[in-house]
């Protein structure tokens, strides 16, 4: 903003623009490029500020709202990433988002933008403890790919059958970041964290029974990991892990 | 009781004892041999009923009370096992319990009884995740030994350095029961449970920081273990694990 | 592994096999016999490692997935044990698993394998507090039987009518292990634990109202049992109790 | 109030007192006899309204405050009952409350009033699970006696040694109300509730370890009692149980 | 039991019956009159032991089970009380329980027995804070009436409009016991407890929103009541309050 | 009440009315104008006591009950405000409440009364973090308007895009009270509280995922706000915020 | 800021100041007057922004830090308000803050500033349930006075003795805002909220025993108040209530 | 390991080493270099596996233990990092660790190793909300520096005074990773997360009062952050954030 401001004030000094006009411009320089849809404000500035445009969180939104926001993003050339989109909502929106693609296990919709996403460096490994954790793991994997990253999927390697995990040791070691998705007792991130030097992002899932309390047991276990360097996302938040890792 | 009762009634039929006397005896047969110390009732029948005499839980008891109960047990020839005995309480009671021995790390007092304890079958392995878990692990190990078991100690084998645990694989496999003591994220029982066929008894410890909530995180993780056959004791309850395993 | 390794190296020394071939074999010796179905990895090694093959946890799995895993297990001669199978899923899979049997109250599917299960020693008693606890108790009982154990069922003996429990005293005493299933206040394991010398495995159930919080009240009560030697499973985890007891 | 009011208005009608004076009296009739000590307001009306005068809850109060309130009560002829009085506070106040008596285990101070307390009907049984529960049980027993009741103490009859409780069956049956005090898993009220027809008042204590969470486990167990008619007091609230039973 | 036993032994002494026969009789004398329906054991002894026969808790039971248990109770002349009976279950059972009556708001079924219930002494007041609390209050009121008590209903007198409660002061004062049913902040028992000398039984309801957590807020408030003598039932447990008060 | 009382007593003194009649009148003066509908008691005095008549909380009430209460309020000239009214309930009641209006997003029904509501002073700003928080925000806004206030809506200004909030700085500063509605991490009230001098009323919403626990995370965050002067309402309680602000 | 900005740009247009100088001034206009002490940044702008200068939260701060911050505030003519100041800290700082005054019960330090605080309108009533709640109530009362308000203290009027509260009805009615401080079951705000039209600010205190959980019971009760318009502060946060009310 | 293994087997094939000797070597290749101190096992392999040697967690360890472990690390040329070291422990160990340095605010001990740590890329910003959060922030900052990173400290920029944070906008934007440390409501990571493109690692602190529950409020808020890409560490775990960021 500094340069634009100095240029503007030079113009005022030269008499090229009037002071009152310049005052408007000063205010405009700091006004964010927010598009107001009535029911929501799209933050088009986010791509510049944060490296990726606003992501549509589909849960609780109507198909009309998702389409309107998605069109607002796509028409500016940004790539589209929408999470928590149910099949029925996808059926409603797919005719109106021609180039979009649906990933049913991940419940994610993606659409490449006119402006290419800069490629990420290195590989992100997405590790899942059991088959019930796959929807969250896939949300992480597809989101990470949409943000331009190469992804390695390593699934069904829970700690009660350790040889399955050890057999994948080399793929784990090769990753720049490791996302570990697990429910029940949430022990996998600690074990993975002890095997690799890369940062580990742990995602507890709501998979579990009895005293798992909707993922709370796994969440607490991950927060208390005895492996240093394990950071934790909210329960079932696969997308957030991808955003952090990306 | 059946035989004693039939004998008694035969004697009544023979006129050997009077009916009113017999009625007293019938009642006596079912009266438990409980010794009333005023402040407590010692259950001397427990050795017969449960295989080991009453155990003194030292926490919150005065030295005088512990000595009185301990003497009540020892004078009947039972072995003594007292847990949660602090060093200062031990100093107060050691002159009065001549043959007793104190295990400071376990905070346990033991004393062999006149009646030998029948030896257990097989080995009990006591596994601890970290050095901070040792007091609880030692309470389990010393208690199991006092109950007549052979014990293998396998300590400091937390999941963040998996090779330490795998190096002890054979000792683990050889055990009849495995007691696993861990705090923080409580992941060790799941990993051990996947390696052995023996039943696993998990003991969460109150070791941890921040969101461990005094062992709650480890407790929940152990209850939700993805390894089948892991049973859980109360937080820090090393003695209970020994009693269950024994 | 040691003997196989030495034999292999002898063969290399003799020139019987080439070094590069031997290197492959060394690696193969430690590779686990895991069968990858795409959506899951069956751990066929578990029967050797843990005494019983992998058990199918049916909750959240489709009928197709359960059939595929079940066939993978049965075709190797292993016995089948699948838990949390609803009647509608059973209807879908029964035509494809010819020799399997469904236990509706336990929601369990079993199928004897070509390889007989070695018989367990002694009797496992399964005790239930009330009629609402029966599904969990039956899951424990049927699972224990599938693992080769003799089982005694002692049901509807809650602590508010103590004479019902005391009347079963002799059957309780005769058991090698006692599994106690209870909801609401979870008091039954403490009472049973005071009556028998055998280890007690307590299973809290989600049966209860108001402040039972889905079985939490019973879970906490069991963890705090004043009877020593009571170990606790996750809420409603009847199968886990059977695996531990077995 | 109705009669007093009618009398007053008759007097107004007769001209015996002026309307403005009568208005004052009407207001005075509904003014409560509250004595304001500056730091507290003693409610002298409570004896009439509730059958027993205000009770001094000693926790957190200074010796001076307790003495002042106690004197305010005693000087009106009411009996004194003060709970949660530590020995050091008792030492400070005993010279100033000549006829008072201290019950150290119950931490209670009592003093008979000039006006005798009407005797209660029937016996209140106070049952305690273990020796650690005695302070709370004694608070209940001494308070109940101060309120004019006959009390039977039945202590150290926890459920893990059932024969101790069954041996006291007749004393339990004879009581009009049974107060049951227990910590840890809080199972005793359910067992007692199944043995007697009298109402049961359960008092959880903060006695316990690990996952007892300061009495929460016992509290939840008691609230979920499968014996009908068990009502529950706050943790460690022995006095409250006595007040309810009285 | 004492007299019956002495008579029996006299008969043995006289040779009137053989010792082995007498041994059977001794055992029979202590056998409880429990009727085993296969899926449940009806405790017919409870009426003698506890003053009212077993009550059918209808939640989670099938219509067939309820009918079978109800018939077992009615055919012995006991009065029937079944709680938590939904209208659809009632429709299924009403043709088979001819003299029974359904209380829809209370969700209770009653049926007078051949043996009359002894009348209770005094009046039980049932007080409810709001209209949403009525189902629980009615469960308490109808249950208390079925147990032979006179009941006064005082409804919709929540603390935010205190004059409604104060207007009912005299009916409150006249009661022998007061049951107070309230959800949300659960303040009503404290206010009632300050107005009456009778014991107060508080029933928290699951009525509430946001941070009421299914009645937990009301439950905690009632346990912490500053009015002495307030005892608390489980959330929504109107029947339990009636049983305690009765 | 004082003046009316004095007048009355003057009349008694003058013999204008009899003492017994006057006694009735004294009682009537303090009797609240409560209308008893059988299932509820309408508190018509609330408008005088609290500035606005009783508000109908529609959740859990039948259409018939809402109509009956609403008619009771409207026929006395009071304004109607009913919250938590679902569209289906509105369809049932709209033909019977002719002048009422339904606000679907807020789920509120309003109806002007014959007696005008006195206008509030100043503007109430209602700020919402995201589009999912709008139902609660609208409940607050519509309720505040019904109580006679001018309202400024400032929506979709969550803290992750701070420029959207800063752009509304002047409207925020101009408000007399600011109601801030937010779910998820509940950070918005702290940020707003740091920008304005007016009191802030924070309303946590149940919007959130994973470890938001139905609004608990937002509730705790708001209670712990580092901005002084932030007071908190129950989760989703938009109406309560309006009542407090009004 | 608008006028200052326009003036500045006029000056640039006139050539009165150079563009680069003007750019500095534009930046300065938005720079906050924050004083950096090294260990803290004093926000001197807060008085302008929020009506009262920064308040010193004394808990956890050293005497040196408190004095340094206090001097920074006082030397600019602002009034001083420091909360949670223990007597020992006060002893350390009193010689260095000459005109300051200490309120021991409230644990508050105040010092009038050179710039007078504008007087608040109307009276703030501070109501406390019991004597144990006085420290929090006094923190609220003294803070409110320091902010220029008239305060009425109404103490020891808990709901178990309702007449004490009703006797203060008129003082309550006269207040512009009512702050209600209560521990234990937290019922007082609901009762007060039903008596007055003014907004009620409820402050739960950590006073309580057993299941009060450090004020959680009172906090939940207040959040669930059935009286509309009750807003809640954090536990023990008397100052916050004063800031909100002020 | 592959190359070393092939070389070894070539040597066996050549007869250069015997098969039995080679078998020892194969085993040695996979044996971890763990040093057993009796009370602990130092994992010297971690530097190779994870990029930084084992870190000493000082809490709960004696000075002797810390010195022994520290010497074990330093004598192999590794850098030393010990956290949670109190001043009194430092006084005991400083004479024996000659080149070590103590950071009192961070409670960290560091000592450069003979082997230099490879420098990290880019800058890690450590942001703290308030002065009470500094110990945790300093633990993060000093740890990150010990691991070879450049660190920018940005302290006392809590959200209630937003201008303080906005003034540091450019330093924030320049960081490769941002660690945000905050207690109380934990709102700062969401605001920072909306300003920067770099990944944000949030550390809740146990700073807070009343309903902060030892940092739980901040923890939940951070897990529910509306800014995508915020990962969370355990409460007060500054070191873990540094390890993750590094």
Q: Which residues of E touch D201 (CB under 8 A)?
A: 231
Residues of chain G whose C-beta is under 8 A from some C-beta in A?
2, 5-6, 9-10, 12-13, 15, 18-20, 22-23, 26
For A165-184, the pLDDT digits (tens) are 888 888 998 999 999 999 88
For residue A31, the model assigns a pLDDT of 42
| A234·F164 Cβ contact <8 A | no
Whether the per-residue pLDDT at E76 is higher than 50: the answer is yes
Rounded to an integer, what distance in angstroms lies between the CA atom of residue H19 and that of residue A71? 70
Whether the per-residue pLDDT at G31 is higher than 50: the answer is no
| Mean pLDDT comparison of B6-20, F23-37, F141-155, highest-scoring range | F141-155
E89 falls in which pLDDT band (50, 70, 90)? confident
Are chains F and A touching, using the cut-off of 8 Å on CB pairs and a minimum of 3 such pairs? yes
DSSP one-letter string for B47-106 = HHHHSSPPPEE-TT--HHHHHHHHHHHHTTT--EEEES--HHHHHHHGGGSTT-EEETTT
Whether the per-residue pLDDT at B35 is higher than 70: the answer is no
E32 falls in which pLDDT band (50, 70, 90)? very low
Rounded to an integer, what distance in angstroms lies between the CA atom of residue G201 and that of residue G206? 17
Q: Which residues of E touch D246 (CB under 8 A)?
A: 229
| F229·G240 Cβ contact <8 A | yes
| Extended beta strands in chain E, E state | 34-36, 41-43, 56-57, 80-83, 101-103, 108-111, 123-128, 150-155, 177-182, 200-204, 230-232
- Over residues C129-139, the mean pLDDT reads 90
Mean pLDDT estimate for chain H: 82
DSSP state of F109: E
- Over residues G95-100, the mean pLDDT reads 84
Instruction: Determine which of E14-23, F43-52, G90-99 has the lowest per-residue pLDDT on average.
Output: F43-52
CB-neighbour burial class of residue B119 (10 A; exposed 0-12, middle 13-18, buried 19+) = exposed
The answer to whether B177 touches B141, Cβ cutoff 8 Å, is no
Which 3-state string (H, E, C) describes A5-39?
A: HHHHHHHHHCCCCCHHHHHHHHHHHHCCCEEECCC
Mean pLDDT estimate for chain C: 82
Are chains B and G touching, using the cut-off of 8 Å on CB pairs and a minimum of 3 such pairs? no
Residues of chain D whose C-beta is under 8 A from some C-beta in G?
30-32, 34, 39-41, 43, 45-46, 59-61, 65, 204, 206, 215-216, 219, 234-237
Q: How many beta-carbon contacts under 8 Å exist across C and H?
A: 37
| Mean pLDDT comparison of A25-29, B202-206, C193-197, E50-54, highest-scoring range | B202-206
From E222, E205, E223, select the one nearest E214 (Cα to Cα): E205
E154 falls in which pLDDT band (50, 70, 90)? very high
| D160·C226 Cβ contact <8 A | yes
For residue B109, the model assigns a pLDDT of 92
Separation in Å, CA E138 to CA D236, E157, E209: 31, 15, 22
Instruction: Determine which of B39-48, C80-89, F56-65, H91-100 has the lowest per-residue pLDDT on average.
Output: B39-48
| Mean pLDDT comparison of B233-237, C21-25, F37-41, highest-scoring range | B233-237
| C211·E235 Cβ contact <8 A | yes
For residue B5, the model assigns a pLDDT of 64
Separation in Å, CA C84 to CA B190, C63, C139, F39, H53: 21, 12, 9, 45, 46
How many other CB atoms sit within 10 Å of the CB of residue B39? 16
| D161·C194 Cβ contact <8 A | yes
For residue C1, the model assigns a pLDDT of 42
For D25-82, the pLDDT digits (tens) are 665 454 446 666 666 666 666 666 666 777 888 887 888 888 888 888 887 778 889 9
Rounded to an integer, what distance in angstroms lies between the CA atom of residue C127 and that of residue C188? 9
Residues of chain D whose C-beta is under 8 A from some C-beta in B?
131-132, 134, 156-157, 161, 163-164, 167, 207, 209-212
B32 falls in which pLDDT band (50, 70, 90)? very low
Of A41, A65, A236, which is closest to F164 when you measure between CB atoms?
A41
Are chains A and D touching, using the cut-off of 8 Å on CB pairs and a minimum of 3 such pairs? no
Q: How many beta-carbon contacts under 8 Å exist across C and E?
A: 45
Q: Which residues of E touch F59 (CB under 8 A)?
A: 209
For residue C181, the model assigns a pLDDT of 95
Nearest CA in chain A to C37: A156
| C206·A210 Cβ contact <8 A | yes
| A232·H229 Cβ contact <8 A | no
Mutate to test the interface with F, among E133, E183, E185, E210 (most CBs of F within 10 A): E210
For residue D15, the model assigns a pLDDT of 79
| A226·B190 Cβ contact <8 A | no
For B108-128, the pLDDT digits (tens) are 999 887 766 777 778 999 999
Rounded to the nearest 10°, the torsion over CA B95, B100, B104, B107 is: -100
C-alpha triplet B98, B99, B101: angle, nearest 5° = 110
| C210·E235 Cβ contact <8 A | yes
How far apart are the CA of H16 and the nearest CA of chain A, in angstroms?
31
H helices present in chain B, as ranges: 2-13, 19-30, 46-50, 63-74, 87-93, 134-146, 162-166, 169-173, 188-195, 216-223, 238-245
For A34-67, the pLDDT digits (tens) are 666 656 666 666 666 666 777 888 887 788 888 8
| A209·C237 Cβ contact <8 A | yes
Of D185, D191, D220, which is closest to C225 when you measure between CB atoms?
D185
G75 falls in which pLDDT band (50, 70, 90)? confident
For H28-47, the pLDDT digits (tens) are 444 446 666 666 666 666 66
B103 falls in which pLDDT band (50, 70, 90)? very high
| G210·D60 Cβ contact <8 A | no
| E40·C161 Cβ contact <8 A | no
Rounded to an integer, what distance in angstroms lies between the CA atom of residue F241 and that of residue H177? 39
The three-class DSSP label of residue D142 is: helix
- Over residues E94-110, the mean pLDDT reads 89
The answer to whether A97 touches A90, Cβ cutoff 8 Å, is no
- Over residues E100-111, the mean pLDDT reads 91
| E129·G226 Cβ contact <8 A | yes
For G173-203, the pLDDT digits (tens) are 899 999 999 988 888 999 998 888 889 999 9
Separation in Å, CA G212 to CA C223, D71, G204, G207: 23, 30, 11, 8
F40 falls in which pLDDT band (50, 70, 90)? low
For residue H35, the model assigns a pLDDT of 67
Q: Which residues of D touch F10 (CB under 8 A)?
A: 19
Mean pLDDT estimate for chain B: 82
From G226, G178, G228, select the one nearest G203 (Cα to Cα): G178
Q: How many beta-carbon contacts under 8 Å exist across B and C?
A: 74
Residue count (chain A): 246
DSSP one-letter string for C28-41 = HHHS--EEE-SS-E
DSSP state of H34: E
For B208-229, the pLDDT digits (tens) are 777 778 888 899 989 988 888 8
DSSP one-letter string for C58-125 = -TT--HHHHHHHHHHHHTTT--EEEES--HHHHHHHGGGSTT-EEETTTTEEEE--SSPPPPPSSEEE
Residues of chain B whose C-beta is under 8 A from some C-beta in H?
131-132, 134, 156-157, 161, 163-164, 167, 207, 209-212
Whether the per-residue pLDDT at B30 is higher than 50: the answer is no
For residue A34, the model assigns a pLDDT of 61
Element (H, E) at G57: strand G56-57
- Over residues C105-134, the mean pLDDT reads 85
- How many helices (DSSP H) and strands (DSSP E) are in chain E? 11, 11
C-alpha triplet G7, G12, G18: angle, nearest 5° = 130
The ipTM value here is: 0.76
How far apart are the CA of H242 and the nearest CA of chain A, in angstroms?
7
Q: Which residues of E touch G195 (CB under 8 A)?
A: 162
For residue H47, the model assigns a pLDDT of 63
List the beta bridge partners of residue A234.
none
Whether the per-residue pLDDT at E48 is higher than 90: the answer is no
- Over residues B57-64, the mean pLDDT reads 81
How far apart are the CA of G26 and the nearest CA of chain A, in angstroms?
10
Whether the per-residue pLDDT at A129 is higher than 70: the answer is yes
Of G2, G5, G12, which is closest to A13 when you measure between CB atoms?
G12
Of A157, A163, A209, which is closest to C236 when you measure between CB atoms?
A209
DSSP one-letter string for E7-25 = HHHHHHHTTSS-HHHHHHH
For residue B1, the model assigns a pLDDT of 42
Whether the per-residue pLDDT at B28 is higher than 60: the answer is no
For E114-152, the pLDDT digits (tens) are 767 777 778 999 999 988 899 999 999 999 999 889 999
Which 3-state string (H, E, C) describes chain A?
A: CHHHHHHHHHHHHCCCCCHHHHHHHHHHHHCCCEEECCCCEEECCHHHHHCCCCCEECCCCCHHHHHHHHHHHHCCCCCEEEECCCHHHHHHHHHHCCCCEEECCCCEEEECCCCCCCCCCCEEEEEECCHHHHHHHHHHHHHHHHCCCEEEEECCCCHHHHHHHHCCHHHHHCCCEEEEEECCCCCHHHHHHCCCCCCEEEEECCCCCHHHHHHHHHHHHHHCCCCCCEEECCCCCHHHHHHHHC
| C228·B239 Cβ contact <8 A | yes
From C51, C99, C106, select the one nearest C84 (Cα to Cα): C106
| D6·F23 Cβ contact <8 A | yes
F39 falls in which pLDDT band (50, 70, 90)? low
| A233·H231 Cβ contact <8 A | yes
For residue D119, the model assigns a pLDDT of 76
Q: List the chains bordering chain H where 3 or more Cβ pairs fall under 8 Å.
A: A, B, C, F, G
Q: Would residue A107 be called left, alpha or beta, if left means φ above 0 and alpha means ψ between -120 and 50 degrees?
A: left
Instruction: Determine which of B146-160, G208-222, H24-38, H227-241 has the lowest per-residue pLDDT on average.
Output: H24-38
Q: Which residues of A touch C46 (CB under 8 A)?
A: 161
Nearest CA in chain E to C134: E39
For residue H204, the model assigns a pLDDT of 93
For residue C99, the model assigns a pLDDT of 84
How far apart are the CA of D14 and the nearest CA of chain F, in angstroms?
8
Task: Please provide the distance, in angstroms rounded to a whole number, between the alpha carbons at the two ends of chain H.
Answer: 27
For E155-169, the pLDDT digits (tens) are 988 888 788 888 888
Cα dihedral across residues G193, G196, G201, G206: positive or negative? negative
For residue F17, the model assigns a pLDDT of 81
Give the pLDDT of chain D (246 residues) as one tens digit per residue.
Answer: 445 567 777 777 787 887 777 766 665 454 446 666 666 666 666 666 666 777 888 887 888 888 888 888 887 778 889 999 999 889 888 888 888 899 999 999 998 877 677 777 789 999 999 888 999 999 999 999 998 899 999 998 888 878 888 888 889 989 999 999 998 888 899 999 888 888 999 999 988 777 778 888 899 989 988 888 899 999 999 999 999 988
C33 falls in which pLDDT band (50, 70, 90)? low
- Quote the percentage of chain B above a pLDDT of 90: 28
| C5·H26 Cβ contact <8 A | yes
| C164·E43 Cβ contact <8 A | yes
- Over residues G79-87, the mean pLDDT reads 90
| B26·E23 Cβ contact <8 A | no
């Amino acid at each position: 903003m500094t340069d634009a401001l100095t240029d503007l004030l030079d113009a005022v000094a030269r008499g090229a623009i009037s002071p009152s006009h310049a005052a408007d411009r000063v205010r405009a320089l700091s006004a964010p490029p927010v598009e107001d849809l009535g029911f929501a404000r799209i933050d088009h500035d986010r791509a510049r500020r944060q490296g990726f445009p606003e992501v549509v969180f589909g849960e609780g939104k109507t198909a009309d709202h998702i389409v309107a926001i998605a069109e607002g993003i796509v028409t500016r050339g940004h790539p589209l990433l929408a999470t928590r989109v149910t099949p029925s909502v996808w059926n409603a929106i797919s005719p109106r988002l021609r180039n979009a693609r649906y990933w049913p296990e991940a419940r994610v919709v993606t659409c490449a933008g006119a402006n290419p996403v800069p490629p990420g460096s290195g590989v992100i490994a997405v590790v899942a403890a059991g088959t019930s954790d796959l929807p969250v793991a896939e949300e992480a994997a597809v989101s990470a790919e949409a943000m331009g990253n190469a992804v390695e999927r390593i699934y069904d390697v829970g700690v009660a059958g350790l040889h399955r995990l050890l057999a994948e040791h080399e793929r784990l070691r090769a990753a720049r970041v490791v996302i570990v998705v697990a429910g029940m007792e949430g022990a996998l991130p600690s074990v993975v964290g002890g095997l690799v030097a890369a940062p580990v992002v742990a995602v507890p899932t709501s998979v579990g029974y009895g005293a798992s309390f909707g993922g709370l047991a796994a969440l607490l276990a991950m927060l208390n990991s005895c492996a240093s360097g394990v950071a934790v996302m909210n329960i079932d938040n696969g997308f957030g892990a991808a955003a952090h890792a990306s």
